[in-house]
Amino acid sequence: MTFSPKRYSEPNKAAENTCRPFGIYIHWPYCKSKCPYCDFFSQVKPHINQEAIIDEYIKELDFYYDYTAREEVTSIFFGGGTPSLIKPQLIEKIINHIARHWCISPKVEISLEANPNTDDGTLFLNLKSAGINRLSLGVQSLNDKDLKFLGRTHTLSQALKSIDHVLKTFDNHSMDLIYARPNQSLKSWQEELQQAVSFGFKHLSLYQLTIEEGTFFAKKGIKELEEEIAANMYRQTVSYLREHNYPRYEVSNFASSQYESRHNKLYWQGDNYIGIGPSAHGRIQTQAGKIYATTHPCQMENLSPQDRAEELLFMGLRLQTGIDKTLYLNRCGIPLDSFINQPALARLSKMHLIDNTQTHLKLTDKGFLVMNTIVEQLICPE
């Protein structure tokens, strides 16, 4: 298999006049098993017609092309579910179909989420040949006891083999871990962090375990780790990774600027993207300023400037750099300073939870620990 999109080097004059990234998200909802903490839409179906599903995805791509033909694709992201279950030749088919329609940035980021339980020894080489240039590996824990607790169907030994395969195959890569697991200590998490850093991944995504309503964990009465211990783990994580060249650029993501996830930054910065597949969604802002929220299958709904403003506030504050006020105005048509609750802003600033400058609004280190509360106060009237 060889990935050679025909339009990779063709200049797109329309795209040259746009200054914003554009991404395409491909959602694959199928998994080998359902993790007990997962509240995302996913299904366990061992026998499915992958070819037929991909053909439907291509029809969705064709539909959205009519609304986004002037865009230049800067990122493609295969998420899930477990998209590493997709046959590599079908991944290649989607990538090449996108390249035949849209213009593709020469620096395009094409990511795929993979689980160690799908690694057959040749998977990652085949994915690279199909066009994937960034691999995100869902390890979640670096000990067998917690892997079993989290419902992962791979062992630590399998994870370490997959880590080796990923690092040898790709130049751009990421690893996911879950912390604040019940009964986890600060010491054990510190040891896990040290091991994670030692691998040499370019990017780390570290998520605090939360028990979401409707999940197996919630039904079984599993309790989250004590709040103060979890907060200390987060402080420890940010500090340790900062010292080891993994600065926080988003609340749960750590990497040098060169290896920040370009695709995920689309969401946090309010750029255009389309979502393909079950439970995928997108945001399209036309040149006339009209904003569409898109959902599967091919549904487009007008999004009010106020709803978009609220969404951008929550998403933008997740970033270490915070919200660029000029971009915010361009994305929703409402000045940030007129949208947020000014008395609440003054109070939060005095508490050193948020920094407000002429150009940006961003959280402090203390503010990241109570981000949701800050957003609620900034949105709600006094």
Q: Are residues 104 and 181 in the same domain?
A: yes
* Judgement on whether residues 251 and 339 belong to the same structural domain of the protein: no
Burial of 131 from C-beta contacts in 10 A (0-12 / 13-18 / 19+): buried
In a domain, 279, yes or no: no
pLDDT of residue 19: 55
pLDDT of residue 382: 64
- Whether residues 139 and 255 share a domain: the answer is yes
Does some domain include residue 256?
Answer: yes
Q: What is the pLDDT of residues 254-271, one digit of tens each?
A: 999 999 999 999 999 999
Identify any residues that bridge with 175 across adjacent strands, giving them in sequence order: 137, 204
The reply to whether 325 and 259 lie within a common domain is no
Domain termination site, one of 235, 265, 295: 265
Residues 246 and 378 both lie in one domain: no
Q: How many helices (H) and strands (E) in the chain? A: 16, 17
**pLDDT recorded at residue 12:** 44
335 falls within a domain: yes
For residue 305, tell me if it sits in a domain: no
Residue type, 233: M
The CATH number given to whatever domain includes residue 317 is: 1.10.10
Report how far residue 111's alpha carbon sits from residue 176's, in angstroms, rounded to the nearest whole number: 14
**pLDDT (0 to 100) of residue 20:** 81
Residue with tokens 């989607």: 94
Co-location of 188 and 319 in the same domain: no
How many angstroms separate the CA atoms of 114 and 111, rounded? 10
What 3-state DSSP class applies to 137? strand
Max CA distance (Å), the chain? 60
111 and 44 share one domain? yes
DSSP sequence for 24-87 = EEEEE-EESS--TT--S--EE-SS--HHHHHHHHHHHHHHHHHHHTT-EEEEEEEEES-GGGS-
Question: Each residue of 68-85: b (16+ CB within 10 Å) or e?
Answer: bebbbbbbbbbbbbbbbb
**Domain co-membership, 172 together with 81:** yes
- Cα 60 to Cα 45: distance, rounded to the nearest angstrom: 22
**Parts of the chain with a pLDDT under 70:** 1-19, 382
Contacts of 345 (CB under 8 A, 6+ apart): 354, 356, 378
The answer to whether residue 286 sits within a structural domain is no
DSSP, res 251: T
Which domain, by its residues, includes 381? Answer: 313-382
Residue 15: per-residue pLDDT:
41
Whether residue 291 is contained in a domain is answered as no
Q: Is residue 288 part of a domain?
A: no
Q: Are residues 32 and 103 in the same domain?
A: yes
Nearest-angstrom CA–CA distance, 352 and 313: 18
CATH assignment at residue 258: 3.20.20.70
Does residue 292 fall inside a structural domain?
A: no
Question: Does 254 share its domain with 354?
Answer: no
Residues 153 and 39 placed together within one structural domain of the fold: yes
User: How many domains in the chain?
Assistant: 2
Q: Are residues 230 and 322 in the same domain?
A: no
Q: Name, in order, each residue with C-beta under 8 angstroms of 208's C-beta and a sequence gap of 6 or more.
A: 178, 179, 180, 230, 233, 234, 252
Predicted TM-score (pTM) of the model is 0.93
How would you classify the pairing of strands 173-179 and 203-208?
parallel
